[in-house]
Structure 1
Amino acid sequence: MGPDQIRSVQWNMAPIRAWYETHWPLFVPLDDLRQARDAVRDEIRRRTLASNPLAVSLDDEEATAAPATLPEAADFLDPKKPLPRERVAERFARYVDGFMVSPDHRSLTLIVRPAGTSLGVSEARALIDRMQSVVDRHKPELERDHLRVGFGGTFPLFIAEYEAIINDVASTALLCVSLVLLSILLFFKDIRSVTSLGLAVLMAVGVTFGLTRLVIGYLNTQTAFLGAIVVGNGINYGLIYLARLKQLRWQGMSLREACLQSAETTARATLLASAATSVSFGVLVVAANRGFRHFGFIGGIGMLLCWLCTFLLVPALLTVYEKLRGPPKVRPDTTQETLRPVVARMLEYRRPIIAAFAVLTVISAVLFIRQIPDAMERNLDNLTNDLKGHDQLKADHDRANSALGRSISGAIALFDSWPEADQFCGVIRERMKQAPYDQLIDSCDTLSSVAPRDQDEKLKVIREIVAELPDRLVRRLDPAQQQRVRQVREQLAAQKPVTVEQADPVLVDRFRERDGTVGRLAVVTAKPLAKLELAQNLEDFVRGVRGVQIGGKTYDATGENVIFADLLTNIDREGPRTAFLSFAGVCLLVLLFFRRLRTAAEVMGSLFIGVVLMCGIAAVVDLKINFFNFIVYPITFGIAVDYGANIAARNRERQGDVIGSLAEVGPAVTLCSWTSIIGYGSLLFSLNRALRSFGWYAMAGEVTTIITAIVLLPALLCAARSKERAGEPGFPGRSAAGARPDTLKG
């Protein structure tokens, strides 16, 4: 395929093993070589004194005793220790004839590195296709020998995940739109309502993503599914509007008058809901994570555009439809007659309802507070993509990793020079001697692990060691030791300066930058059993590769693991802040809208209790907070305030008729929550586990907040009304015989 496409191919470890076996003395640290030289001198002196009874030591008697341990570089003097070259061979012993084979010896791994350090989806797809074409050309030979070539690694997984996300986005969007439109059709039993509102919302979504294209330019894993969320939640404003419009049209009002009166009734409350939702999304813009900022921008713009398109387009579309098909049939609205008795009966028990919710709130709060120490998802495996239908790819990827012989997890640091990279690794190696880094960090390598630095000084010390081992002294050793020392002496004497150009290109490639520069990178590798998928281990590993002081500057390593650790840190810092800002912003909007502290407190109180109940459910089912689903808190405040705000606004319009207000707007509000549940439920089909957890969390929040809006809030409104205007029609009282005779009036 050529060097313009493939940078390097690593298929056998034998050349690398030979490089280190041949030049092992140059890779010994200079201080260790000096210690080895001094140890050799001391050992020769000790043996000389011990073998010559006439020799007299002028030092203490203990000076002639054998040292307890020898420096590692002088281990060749100890017959119980393996020789240096043998230790090198042990590192490569797992490779059969140098090949990277799986533990069951049924597969062989080749590492192919493409030209360039980063590829887009199309480039990666083209590269894999070209590699597959090479495999296909050899298909007859492969089939004859019963062989198969599979692909694993970053690029195949990247392509599979991207294509799966694209399929997920398309399928979830289609499912969400279909279920939402079907729900509207079943509710309104009117094609014109479904068509008008559906076109208005889809246009708003289209404009939203058009603006996203202009401002951001792309979608990511977090924002790709916002279409379903915007549809599920943005359609709520139109549902409230059409529900009121339907009631007026059934009373025989003309379309123009009905549209105007419906807008007067619902526009302000739905605008409050739209603004509150935009605020809850908008607070994410202050997040440090770019994905969350994009999420906040798209969601905030989308909610406002849905409200705008609803009141601009739906009346116009209904007018066009009516000119083509005529007005709907006038028929009596029986919803009030059906629901008023049910609502009245429920609100007779307003005090038990309030008490029950108070108890549930306390229980939920206790459960959630008890779970807080373990509320965060600490196993990152539970947040990864679940590639369904790619079992062979995952199996090939795992098999290839098992053949590498070392972990592929780690971090990388970039410096201004090669010496700075070496100093960085020097600090890391010192940290590796301390807990917990000794269990997490396996190595820190620079270009010096390929072509050692300080070669002139090292060669000088090596020559001194060789000079200390003349034949006349070696012959005094026992035969086994003579052979060991001669082998090492020959290897030491053979050392010459080595350069980067002499090394295997595969070794150098690890430290090559995109422009071809080598030497300025340091690569930190995690231990195979570091288990960086566990948050505590990951955070400890990242601390170990950060904050390295070199020449008055502070250097940090970076990489996928570091980014994940930062996401966890961001949740701890930004999660409570964004939730508080969202709640505070929504409270302010509600207060400005109602201009009455008590009503605002009742609306926000029922919403807050709904969120607390959501926390309790999450604690009961052990639903963890992660770097994605934590945004459900600020979003729920903004979206769910819609329900209580519409009920309270309709109650104010009807001058305190709680029963009539709930019977009138309650079905539409419930439908709003249902469409939101559909939008969130579509996320359950996502391949990303974190996104699925967001769907579950948000659905739980929808259920609890709609219940508090249509059960608790009316009970609170009734309780407040009983103190202000006891006996007013529409207010359910109690008597010894049960309900008051005028309970259903008003």
Structure 2
Amino acid sequence: MARVERSLGSLAARSHRRPALALAVAVLLAALGGFFARTLRLNANLVDLLPRSFESVQDLRALEERFGALGWIAVVGEGGDAESLRRFADDVAPKLADLPSIRFVEKQRPGAFFRDKALYFLSEADLREVYRRLDARLQWEKARANPLYVPLVDEPAPSLDFSDLEAKYGGAAGQRLSSTREDYYLDPDARRVVILVKPEVTSADLDYSRRVVDEVQGLLTAQDLSKYGPGFHTEITGTFQKKLDQQKQILRDIAVSSAVATALMLLYLIFHFRSALAVGLVLVPVGAGLAWTYGLVGLVYGQVNLLTGFLGAILGGLGIEHGIHLLGRYLHLRAEGEHSEQATRESFTHTGGAALVSALVAALTFFVLGTSQLRAFREFGVIAGIGMVVLVAAYVLVLPALLGLTARWGWRPRRAAVSPKESSMGRLLVRHRVAISVVSAVVLVGLFTQMRRVKFDYDFGTLWDQDLPSFVLDTQVNRIIGYSQTPVVVLTNGPEQEHAMATALVERQREQGPDSTIDFVASLSSLVPRDQPRKQQVLADIARLLDQVPKSRLTPRLREQLDQLREQTASPPFTRDDLPESVRQQFLGRHGVPGSFVLVYPAVNQSDGKAVRALAREVRGTPVADGGRVAAAGESMVMADILEMVTHEAPLILGGTTLAVLLAMWMTLGGLRIALLCMAPTVVSLLALVGLMPLVGLDFNYLNILIIPVLIGTTVDAGVHLLTRLSSPGSDFVAVYSETGRAISGGLLTSALGFGALFLAKHPGLNSIGVLACVGFATNLLVMLVAFPAILLVLSQRKRRKHRAELDTAAKERATPAPGPEHATRMS
């Protein structure tokens, strides 16, 4: 480590002597970085968070190749009466279907068709039960009509109530699709009608999504809506519009949050150094390092994801922390009369060594996070780890060169830019170290007892802004439709396997009973019942009985039911080709090729992580005849895999991060004891943070959980800076605390500002990262500057007393004369 520190000092001195060459290299690298970063784009697609080797991702890709787009564009007409809403749907649907990017349009439910064919969905045994009940009632009626019949007992009329059979088949696909008498997707009370538009390509392709939504919006804008009533207007929602709104929100969050964070960091640096030039000296190396880092990102990845899009602000905050320590030490040495080059060498030898250790430890933490299979975490870890090393390199190259130029121009730091020799907090810690240690220990123990109350929020819905207009309208559209617009799709090979899978899923749903997460199962095989010719014969028998039932003795409601039953018995058998077009087209693959799959409509909220995991287990656990796996595709399966992965990886990453940081600090600092001491405030503050979370209403979720390993790597450097300075020979606690504590406060504050950029995000998931990070840094600051120094003072005082007692004992032993021969004889 000593050699590394001397090398850093030499490199810094060389840049100081040759500033033009160092800055030319820095500018060239920054230009290359800007060139490669110019095409970076944001990819917020949920599916791309998982590796391509995952079954849910492979199944989803296979589904998109065979079936095309998942989800819909929902066109909503609002503000007319029921008849006007129907006319709007009839007028606009054909025009939407003619758009080049649209596969088909659905404006009506297939309810009338399935109500007409309802009896074919009953088993032959249940149809014969219908016949038996009708025949029993008919015989009872005939007996009562005979004047010579004398009943021996007063028995009630055999029931014609078929509600038990309706309940038995109420969850079948045909019955669910025909569950309402209104064939349009219409809500007369809300004065709203829905038209479902199916594009060709998946919503994951945001350029395509934007183009097809613009086509639909352009067509609607061109319509004369006044003929449907005053105030009639249209809105768009559905999967495609929601993805675009999410993308737009995240881009806005990145721009606004990064700008505000930069402004806040700039204001703090002005307050910290009281010098505009000093602020520039800190920011220029950070800017160069970020340009180099994002150039590498553009070269390797070509895009940023939901998390890495904010890394500019985060790395900026972490990088400024190094600048505060390095420039603060330089200014302090210059104020003591050191020459500029010697002050630069000294700053980068000692403070620079501590900065390198902290940067390497932070980078190692990020690299451990980079081992995650979750792509968002992996890319965040790799890019942040590289960025930490690059920022230190930028400081070694750029800051000494800038200092060399300012020295040539005759700049000398003002006293206002240098921290005072002593601080009142440092003197207070020395004077009341025991009391502060006791109070700190009580508070920390109290927080530790609350750790068991912390929770993990499994609700994905809390991670998206549910107040976005498209999200609010989508919820209302789902209510009108009556079931989820985004079913899970089980891929099969051929009609026989499709029928077997649909049957197995229905059977599993019945086994689960009320605990089932499945609403209903639909497939072409389930929508075209088998054994229709035999069932038609039973229906003919039922029809003959119905003609003989005396209507005059029936209630009006029962007569209406039997009239409907008579119409259904006259319905002929049907094939797949007879199904309504709105049904058949849902089961066709891309370009009209017949598909082979089963649609599983969830009965649970697909934002509920626990429910989604239960749905995945239920669907994937369905037994398959050939013993193979269930190929289930859909965003629900992806979300379930994300939660499973986070649950599995979190303890491994946390343990790996802690161990890696401890080993790295042991190696670089040269001793296990000093490494453990440097890590102590970080570990204690993290435990206190977990205990504090339930008290302030914070929960973990699958995004903000990454803050824990990040805090390990980004807060441990404060202990390194403080202990390395205190361990120097002849160091004075108050003086070191005043200088280093001020730098630690500034470093942690700028780091918090970097993550605090996410605090300004409207995206709830990103916002939760910013909130938890800020609370974590604040907790670490209190532990680092209050509890930890007080305990160190108490321990050092005890150590000095013990050492003084040992010296006094040794002095007494030396002062006592050794026993002579005469004394020894008397003793014997």
Residues 1:337 and 2:412 are matched in the alignment: no
Which of 625, 630, 655 in structure 2 is aligned with 1:580? 655
Q: What per-residue deviation string (whole Å, max 9, x for no partner) do you get for residues 88-119 of structure 1? A: 897122x2xx3222362412111111122335
Which of 366, 371, 377 in structure 2 is aligned with 1:281? 366
Equivalent residue, structure 1, for 2:115: 21
Residues in 1 aligned to 2:543 and 2:416: alpha-carbon distance in whole angstroms: 115
Residues in 2 aligned to 1:256 and 1:146: alpha-carbon distance in whole angstroms: 75
Q: What per-residue deviation string (whole Å, max 9, x for no partner) do you get for residues 294-336 of structure 1? A: 121122111111111111211123333444x432256598734
1:443 aligned counterpart, secondary structure: strand
Q: 1:673 to 1:717 in 2, by over 3 A?
A: same
Residues 1:524 and 2:592 are matched in the alignment: no
Residues in 1 aligned to 2:619 and 2:729: alpha-carbon distance in whole angstroms: 64
Gaps in structure 2 of 5+ consecutive residues: 1-95, 145-154, 805-828
Residues in 2 aligned to 1:230 and 1:690: alpha-carbon distance in whole angstroms: 19
Equivalent residue, structure 2, for 1:326: 410
**How far has the Cα of 1:233 moved from its partner?**
1.4
Q: 1:469 to 1:157 in 2, by over 3 A?
A: closer
1:400 aligned counterpart, secondary structure: helix
Q: 1:535 to 1:660 in 2, by over 3 A?
A: same
Q: How does 1:446-525 map to 2 (within 5 A)?
A: 446-450=523-527, 452=528, 454=530, 457-459=531-533, 461-466=534-539, 468=541, 471=544, 476-479=548-551, 488=565, 491-492=568-569, 494-500=571-577, 502-514=578-590, 516-525=592-601
2:465 aligned counterpart, secondary structure: coil
Counterpart AA for 1:365: F
Q: 1:568 to 1:640 in 2, by over 3 A?
A: same
Which of 225, 229, 232 in structure 2 is aligned with 1:147? 232
Which of 411, 421, 429 in structure 2 is aligned with 1:346? 429
Residues in 1 aligned to 2:567 and 2:239: alpha-carbon distance in whole angstroms: 44
Which of 433, 453, 477 in structure 2 is aligned with 1:400? 477
Equivalent residue, structure 1, for 2:788: 713
Counterpart AA for 1:201: V
Tell me the matched-pair count.
Answer: 690
Whether contact under 8 Å (1:413, 1:521) holds in the other structure is yes
Counterpart AA for 1:447: L
Residues 1:9 and 2:105 are matched in the alignment: yes
Equivalent residue, structure 2, for 1:376: 456
1:253 aligned counterpart, secondary structure: coil
More deviation, 636-645/279-288: 279-288
Whether contact under 8 Å (2:517, 2:615) holds in the other structure is yes
Whether contact under 8 Å (1:21, 1:88) holds in the other structure is no
Residues in 2 aligned to 1:490 and 1:254: alpha-carbon distance in whole angstroms: 103
Identity %: 23
Whether contact under 8 Å (1:545, 1:556) holds in the other structure is no
Which of 603, 607, 611 in structure 2 is aligned with 1:537? 611
Equivalent residue, structure 2, for 1:91: 179
Whether contact under 8 Å (2:272, 2:417) holds in the other structure is no
Counterpart AA for 2:477: A
Q: How does 1:431-446 map to 2 (within 5 A)?
A: 431-435=508-512, 438=515, 440-446=517-523
**How far has the Cα of 1:721 moved from its partner?**
3.0
Q: What per-residue deviation string (whole Å, max 9, x for no partner) do you get for residues 48-87 of structure 1? A: 799799xxxxxxxxxx9999999889889xxxx99x9x97
Residues 1:296 and 2:420 are matched in the alignment: no
2:745 aligned counterpart, secondary structure: helix
Whether contact under 8 Å (1:252, 1:330) holds in the other structure is no
> What TM-score, normalized to structure 1?
0.84
1:196 aligned counterpart, secondary structure: helix
Equivalent residue, structure 2, for 1:36: 127
Equivalent residue, structure 2, for 1:237: 322
Q: Which has the higher contact order (CA 8 A, sep 6+)?
A: 2
> What TM-score, normalized to structure 2?
0.76
Equivalent residue, structure 1, for 2:50: none
2:233 aligned counterpart, secondary structure: coil
Which of 352, 358, 363 in structure 2 is aligned with 1:267? 352
**How far has the Cα of 1:272 moved from its partner?**
1.4
**How far has the Cα of 1:38 moved from its partner?**
6.7
Residues in 2 aligned to 1:73 and 1:541: alpha-carbon distance in whole angstroms: 27
Equivalent residue, structure 1, for 2:505: 428
Residues in 1 aligned to 2:560 and 2:264: alpha-carbon distance in whole angstroms: 82
Equivalent residue, structure 1, for 2:69: none
Whether contact under 8 Å (2:447, 2:691) holds in the other structure is yes
More deviation, 66-75/583-592: 66-75
**How far has the Cα of 1:566 moved from its partner?**
3.1
Q: 1:488 to 1:249 in 2, by over 3 A?
A: same
Residues in 1 aligned to 2:177 and 2:207: alpha-carbon distance in whole angstroms: 42
Whether contact under 8 Å (1:354, 1:712) holds in the other structure is yes
Equivalent residue, structure 2, for 1:247: 332
Equivalent residue, structure 1, for 2:256: 171
Residues in 1 aligned to 2:726 and 2:354: alpha-carbon distance in whole angstroms: 12
Whether contact under 8 Å (2:137, 2:158) holds in the other structure is no
**How far has the Cα of 1:417 moved from its partner?**
2.7
Counterpart AA for 1:36: L
Residues 1:413 and 2:413 are matched in the alignment: no
Residues in 2 aligned to 1:139 and 1:121: alpha-carbon distance in whole angstroms: 29
**How far has the Cα of 1:634 moved from its partner?**
0.6
Residues in 1 aligned to 2:134 and 2:396: alpha-carbon distance in whole angstroms: 94
Residues in 1 aligned to 2:240 and 2:285: alpha-carbon distance in whole angstroms: 40
Gaps in structure 1 of 5+ consecutive residues: 54-63, 730-746
2:575 aligned counterpart, secondary structure: coil
Residues in 2 aligned to 1:322 and 1:332: alpha-carbon distance in whole angstroms: 18
Q: 1:5 to 1:316 in 2, by over 3 A?
A: same
Residues in 2 aligned to 1:728 and 1:660: alpha-carbon distance in whole angstroms: 24
Q: 1:322 to 1:103 in 2, by over 3 A?
A: farther
More deviation, 573-582/350-359: 350-359
Whether contact under 8 Å (2:498, 2:525) holds in the other structure is no
* Root mean square deviation, CA, Å: 3.6
Residues in 2 aligned to 1:271 and 1:510: alpha-carbon distance in whole angstroms: 59
Residues in 2 aligned to 1:470 and 1:100: alpha-carbon distance in whole angstroms: 33
Q: How does 1:649-668 map to 2 (within 5 A)?
A: 649-655=724-730, 657-668=732-743
Whether contact under 8 Å (1:33, 1:458) holds in the other structure is no
Q: 1:475 to 1:337 in 2, by over 3 A?
A: closer
Residues in 2 aligned to 1:184 and 1:126: alpha-carbon distance in whole angstroms: 45
Residues in 2 aligned to 1:9 and 1:310: alpha-carbon distance in whole angstroms: 59
